[in-house]
Amino acid sequence: MRLTSGVQAARLRNRFTTVAIVLFIASALGQAQAPSSDTEQLVARAEAAFACGVETKTRLLESRKHFSTATDAYLELHRRGLRSAKLYANLGNAAMLADRWPEAIWANHVGLLLDPNDRTLREHLAIARAKILYPPSGQGRLEPDLWPIWLHRPTEGEILWLRYVVYVGLCLAVSFLFHIRNLRYFLLVASLFLLTAALLFASWHLRHQAELEHQTPLVILTANADFHRGNGPSYPRHPVVPVLPRGLEMRQTHRRGNWLHVRLTTGETGWIHASQALIVEP
């Protein structure tokens, strides 16, 4: 009897354990599905608000309110961790139509970090940048992008793959160099060597650029901001550019509390309050 009771108790414990595991998994699945449902509702809300903005485009103020609602919904999706070039394209469009174009500049930049070859994002970025009112003396003005918009921008992965292919070709070509003593063949080997060196430099440049983006992230001003000499409103403003225009792009060199030390494209440095800026991060 004791043995039977022990077996029954063991079976009961196993059943309770199994039920507990099933309940735990069901609870976990329910928690995992809830954010997904909320996310879908948020996407639907953003799309509906954007559609209302399009329908009321003849009534400017009302239309901007709808586009602003769509912008806030897309921003909430970003805060929840969603990342895609399409999301930031939609966010940029909504922000632009809501007259929140500094946020459109930020959204297009973040989208281009995910897909540097998205031509639509680059075109929309150029449109939003055209609204920036630079100082008359030109401080903070961007240098023109020399890379043609239609030309593919190779990613680090693409260059790495091509580098290995060219390197293997170079090794094979060198192994036959002493058997095929021909000027054209020698020029082919030299070309492969130069191409390998160029690809190595390109890989280093992209990696170095990524490190700079991480160490000195791009900052977009959301409103006109006082440009102080120190990290506080009590410090005097910059003598050349006391006020920075909304939408201006600059680099953050470091942070102290709620103040960002930034450097303009033309070299001027100073401090702005973090609440007036958006940082471009993937």
CB neighbourhood size of 247 (10 A): 23
Nearest alpha-carbon partner for 128 in 94, 156, 160, 158:
94
- Say if residue 32 is exposed, middle or buried (CB neighbours under 10 Å; 0-12, 13-18, 19+): exposed
Q: What is the pLDDT of residues 32-88, one digit of tens each?
A: 444 468 889 999 999 999 999 999 999 999 999 999 999 999 999 999 999 999 999
Asked if the model's pLDDT at residue 90 lies above 90, the reply is: yes
Asked if the model's pLDDT at residue 156 lies above 70, the reply is: yes
Residues 6 or more apart in contact with residue 56 via CB below 8 angstroms: 62, 63, 66
Q: Flag whether the pTM goes above 0.85.
A: no
Residue 276: DSSP 8-state: G
Question: Alpha-carbon distance 229 to 223, whole Å?
Answer: 19
Residues 6 or more apart in contact with residue 142 via CB below 8 angstroms: 129, 249, 265
In angstroms, what CA-CA distances link 128 with 23, 100, 105, 109, 270?
51, 10, 6, 11, 25
Nearest alpha-carbon partner for 113 in 205, 200, 39, 217:
217
Question: Alpha-carbon distance 36 to 39, whole Å?
Answer: 5
What is the model's pLDDT at position 210? 84
CB 85 within 8 A of CB 111: yes
Half-sphere exposure of 271 (CA within 13 A, CB side): 17
What is the model's pLDDT at position 76? 95
Q: What is the pLDDT of residues 202-255, one digit of tens each?
A: 999 888 888 888 899 999 999 999 999 999 999 999 999 999 999 999 999 999
